Amino acid sequence: MTLQSSADAEPRREPSGNDEAALRFEAREGRGLRIDRFLATRLQDVSRSRIQRWIELGAVCVDSIPVLSKYRLRGPELIEVSPLPSDAEQAFEPDEMPLSIVYEDADLLVIDKPVGLVVHPAPGHWRGTLMNGILSARPDSARLPRAGIIHRLDKDTSGLLMIARNEVAFERLTAALAARSIHRRYVAVVEGATEAQFSIDAPIGRDPRDRLRMAVVPEGRGKPAQTQVIRLSAGAGVSVVACQLQTGRTHQIRVHLASLGHPLVGDSLYGGRARADCARQALHAWRLDLQHPRTGVHLALSSALPNDLRMLLESLGLPVPAPDEAEPSVGKTGR
């Protein structure tokens, strides 16, 4: 790939919070241009149609937010491009799979993702992902970036995921997520006895010792990340906590809690102990609170704990919490 360097676009390869090989540059003279056209003039030997595919896969962000191909630059935004290999074209093939639908209308689809399902196509997982399943179940989603998927869950995290059904909903939901007006609540089982209520405000970036992991890093070395936590119950050497995300960094809950000495049960990547009765990190996205992207009506959607986490809590002699049991709020700050 050949990059054109000019006074108005100075691309450079830098580590970023999500992809260490991302290209970052400012488009100081790109005002008024569509993002796909602008990038086609800056990334030589890459066709505009391929750039549009990258955009559809969410590999192009403006000021850290995925955009549509029709997005017009306003001025000196920061553009981040994560180049994808040619076999990424497989990502747009539909794969039939069952989807557990919690809510659906003409603008919004919310599904309950099972454990083990990869959300977005990536190297090693170009097919059989949730995106492929959405393309099969809702073919009109092919015109949206990532088939309309607004946020992500790790492969072994279960629970609620939002998918936009049209461009207006995609833009509004993406903006609402960036503005922190969508509240995402998770339940986790962690090692040790946590404080009753606390807030973690610590930047997250790639772990310099292991590029497969994320880590809490010094200011300026990662992206800001805030998580609010409240303990729901404790016993048998673990705590059940509710976590509310203020930001959405990669592995945020897992990294933040591990940084305080409370790794998730079953999360071997971040120091959690393996258990015969928990074959994955004990984390479930159990509630979404948002305004409908078109009507503005408040939606409070929830997902009961899946059987494996219910059985884990029962084996520990701990109560199974309900999604509306507790509301995390700002408390002590941890690093």
Query: Residues 6 or more apart from 15 whose CB is under 8 A from it?
Result: 22, 205, 206
Residue 142 CA to residue 123 CA, distance in Å, equals 20
With CA atoms as reference, report the closest residue to 90 among 52, 114, 123, 113.
123
Concerning whether 45 is annotated as a catalytic residue, the answer is no
Residue 131 structure tokens: 């995106």
Residue 254 CA to residue 186 CA, distance in Å, equals 11
Q: Are 326 and 242 in contact (CB under 8 A)?
A: yes
| E strand or H helix at 40 | helix 35-42
What burial letters (b/e) apply to 313-326, b meaning 16+ CB within 10 Å?
Answer: beebebebbebeeb
With CA atoms as reference, report the closest residue to 320 among 288, 284, 289.
284
Query: Residues 6 or more apart from 269 whose CB is under 8 A from it?
Result: 212, 213, 251, 254, 281
The 10 Å Cβ neighbour count of residue 257 is: 28
Residue with token string 């199974």: 320
* Beta bridge partner(s), residue 72: 34
Residue 124 structure tokens: 């090693």
Question: Exactly one of 36, 107, 112, 154 is catalytic; which is it?
Answer: 154
Q: Are 225 and 203 in contact (CB under 8 A)?
A: yes
With CA atoms as reference, report the closest residue to 67 among 115, 96, 33.
33
SS3 55: helix
Q: Are 163 and 135 in contact (CB under 8 A)?
A: no
Our CA dihedral for 323, 214, 85, 162, rounded to 10 degrees, sits at 10
**Which residue numbers are catalytic?**
154
